[in-house]
Amino acid sequence: MSEVRAVRNLRICSKDCLCLYVCPTGATDTETGQIDFSKCIGCGACSKACPSGAISMVPYQYPKQQTKDDLVIAKLNKLIQSKVEQEQMAEYIYKNSNDSIEKQLAKAIIRANRLMTEDLYREAGFMLPQSKNTKDFLKNLLQQTKDETLKKDIEKLIDLLDFNE
């Protein structure tokens, strides 16, 4: 069995059927939009022929996720730090500039860096609990727990976290 198979992105498929003509096994059906994995031999002809770039060859088995060893986390933390610094610089410009275009650009940089930082945190094995669900969960936990130390920790967490309302 081939190690890859063809997958069609229906959102960009323009239905010109080139994939249908080049497929040696009849695996691709442009009527239903499906590619029959039991017939696909992973030759890649459809992907090369597709003018819209709608077909990707994807592996049957994805490689194992990279282990989060200390070196990887240290590197990710460095990257996170640089993204945070860039966000702070952009924030400074945003607050102090009188130029509307400069402000707009600074805002875009703030958002982009924030998103990249969040991705890096996730990649480093941390979740950012910023959702309303998390806040509700913590408040619920606070009401139910009788452990005073835990209560203090939860309160601290609620104060610390910058929730996206």
Q: How far is the CB of 63 from ligand SF4 (least distance, A)?
A: 21
- Is 46 or 154 the residue whose CB approaches ligand SF4 more closely? 46
Q: How far is the CB of 61 from ligand SF4 (least distance, A)?
A: 17
Site residues for ligand SF4 per CB under 6 A: 6, 8, 13-19, 22-23, 25, 27-28, 30, 35, 40-46, 49-50, 52, 54-55
- Is 49 or 124 the residue whose CB approaches ligand SF4 more closely? 49
- Is 49 or 79 the residue whose CB approaches ligand SF4 more closely? 49
- Is 19 or 106 the residue whose CB approaches ligand SF4 more closely? 19
Q: How far is the CB of 30 from ligand SF4 (least distance, A)?
A: 5
Q: How far is the CB of 5 from ligand SF4 (least distance, A)?
A: 7
- With residues binned 3-state (H G I as helix, E B as strand, rest as coil), the percentages for the chain, rounded to 5, are 55, 5, 40
Tokens of 93: 């410009």
- Is 46 or 110 the residue whose CB approaches ligand SF4 more closely? 46
Task: Look at the block and give the residue holding tokens 């996730």.
Answer: 122
Cross-strand bridge partners of residue 77: none
CA–CA distance, 48 with 101 (Å, rounded to integer): 42
Nearest to 7 by CA among 22, 28, 32: 28
Task: Look at the block and give the residue holding tokens 């282990």.
Answer: 67
Q: What angle do CA 159, 120, 125 make, to 5 degrees?
A: 75
Four-residue CA torsion sign, 90, 96, 99, 100: positive
Q: How far is the CB of 22 from ligand SF4 (least distance, A)?
A: 6
CA–CA distance, 8 with 125 (Å, rounded to integer): 31
